[in-house]
Amino acid sequence: MARRVRKSLRSAIIRISSVAVAVLAVAGATWFAADRAARGAEEKRRLAAFDNLTANVIERIAELSVLEYRYTDVMELQRKFIIGGQSSSLVRFSGVVKAGIADVSAVNARWDRQTDTVRVSVPRSTIVSNEVDVSTIRIWDLKRNLFVPISTDFKIQEIAAFRDQVASELEASGFLDEANARAEEVIGSLYAGFAARTETAFIQGN
C-alpha cells in the first residue's frame, strides 16, 4: 500500500512538472513573440523617423555647413608713362568668400541597424561663392595722367584679380578643411536626436 502511494505521488509530481514546463514554454514563447513584435515595431518607427529626418536634413546640411570669410581691403592702383608721370588711385572694397557643399544631390545617408550607426557621405567642401559687395566700392583718384588713365575697366579687373587671390590664399591656408570639419559637426548635431552613432565620410565631388 505504501509503495502504491509513493508511485501515485511520483506520477502526480511528474504530471505537475510536465504541466509547469508546458506553461513556462508557452509563456516563454508568448514573451519572445511579444518582444520580437515590440522590437519590430520600434525598428519600423525608427526607420520611419530616420527617413523623415533625412528628407529634411540634407538641405539643412548644405545650408548650415557653409563657412564664410569676410574681408575689406584697400589697394593702390598705379600706371606709369614717360610723359606726365603716373596715374594712381586708391580702391577700397569688401567681399565674402563662402565654402560649403556644392552638390547637395550627392549627399547620402543610411542607417546601419546592426551597429546602430548613421553613415553619411558628403562631397568635400569647395568655394561655393566669392563675391565683392559692389555697394562697398570706394575709389579715390590721387593722380591723373591723361596718357595713362586708370579706367573703370582696369579697376574692375584689378578688384576681380584680388578677389580670386583671396580665395586661393584661403584654400592654401586650410579654409576648406575647416568647412569640412564644420559639415561633420553639423551632421552630428542634426542626427543627434536619432540616438545613433554618426560617421561622416567625405567623397571627391565631380
Query: Out of 83-87, 90-94, 139-143, which region has the weakest mean confidence (pLDDT)?
Result: 83-87
H/E segment holding residue 168: helix 152-172
The predicted-structure confidence for 110-126, as pLDDT tens digits, reads as follows 888 888 888 888 889 99
The Cα 183–Cα 199 span in angstroms is: 12
Ranges of each domain in the chain? 48-203
Contacts of 128 (CB under 8 A, 6+ apart): 66, 98, 99, 100, 101, 102
Higher-pLDDT residue of 30 and 138 is: 138
pTM over 0.95: no
The Cα 193–Cα 206 span in angstroms is: 32
CA distances, 175 to each of 66, 73, 105, 131, 179 (Å):
11, 19, 23, 16, 6
